[in-house]
Amino acid sequence: MAELGVIEGFFGRDWGWPARAGLMPWLAGQGFSFYLYAPKSDRALRMEWRRPWDAPVRAELHALRDAARAAGIAFGVGVSPYELDPDDFAAERVLLDAKLDAIAALEPDLLGLLFDDAPGGVPDLAARHLAIAEAVLARGVAPRTIVCPGYYSDDPILTEVFGAPPPRYLEDLAAGLPEEVDLFWTGPKVISERYPADHLAEVTRRIGRRPVLWDNALSNDGRARAPFLPLGPGALGPDLPAQVAGVAVNPMNQPHLARIALSRAAAAWHGRLDPGFAEAGVLAPLIAEIAEAMTRTGYDALGDAGRAALRARVEPHAALPMAAEILDWLDGGYVFDPACLT
């Protein structure tokens, strides 16, 4: 059966430790089965992967793993060996093994090997990524590994930003990986509004296995989407489980509001009725009334007057986590910062 999970894999402000730990039993109740820790803000997993985690971060990760395990949620970590040169493994292998051993100490159920959003375009890119993957898989960090290709969609935006992929990059990468290793794919676009059956069938043919969808439909970490609070339901549907190996939903930066969108995505995946804004509890009527402003008008178009009016409506409920996140958003706490990309 294809599994539904969550990947905290976005740029910008991450969820923070208390929100993550509190989310685990809730995810289980909604029908999610795994969580992958891979926030771009954890530089020790990405831009600075060569340095070890600080002791407090290690402690928090162990606690998060325990919370996931207690809830019956499979726990994983995603690492991006950014700018690792496989031609210089003599120096880099020691550092790579040290990071993998630190992840293995968490006894994860999943390992994400993530080549996403890094410079590409070199002719031997697939061979480079396969060399790294071979070294990582040899370490036996987790029972299951999911690889995110450097080009994880055929969306032209990836070529514009990172250069053209080598011919047959995806096919060559997939062919060189063991068949039990999964591959992430974001669909026709980096942020896909739907996943056509013929598209998924073609991707399955190209990679020799069903893809694991990295679903960005509910994310808001980029320049174009940061002004909005996407509340779902997203792009999933009950037909998808038969076409993919799984789905990892990459949600919005606001952890409590994300529950609204995630509950709606889970309902769509499992073929249940759309719960709408029910996850907001006592705030559901208010959020239903102001949803248009958050999801379609957005921070910028609201302007000072619109934001002030919205603040006046939400402020009486400031003690509630979802209301606090809306107020933080209205105060510019989630305005896109290009520095988050680096």
pLDDT at 155: 97
Query: How buried is 73 (Cβ within 10 angstroms: 0-12 exposed, 13-18 middle, 19+ buried)?
Result: buried
- d(Cα 78, Cα 61) in Å, to the nearest integer? 13
| pLDDT score recorded for residue 342 | 65
User: Model pTM?
Assistant: 0.96
Q: Residue 284 has what pLDDT?
A: 98
- What CATH number should be reported for the domain whose range is 3-276? 3.20.20.80
**What would the pLDDT profile of 175-221 be if each residue is shown by its tens digit?**
999 999 999 999 999 999 999 999 999 999 999 999 999 999 999 99
Within the chain, which residue ranges are assigned CATH 3.20.20.80?
3-276
In whole angstroms, how far apart are CA 163 and each of 45, 116, 286? 24, 13, 45
DSSP state, residue 54: P
Tokens coding 155? 């969306």
pLDDT of residue 87: 81
pLDDT value, residue 118: 85
Query: What pLDDT score was predicted for residue 214?
Result: 98
Handedness of CA 156, 162, 166, 172 (dihedral sign): negative
117 catalytic? Reply is yes
Residues of the chain with pLDDT under 70: 342
Task: Out of 14, 109, 117, 221, pick the active-site residue.
Answer: 117
For residue 212, give every residue at least 6 positions away whose Cβ sits within 8 Å of its Cβ, in sequence order, or none.
146, 182, 183, 184, 185, 244, 245, 246, 247, 248
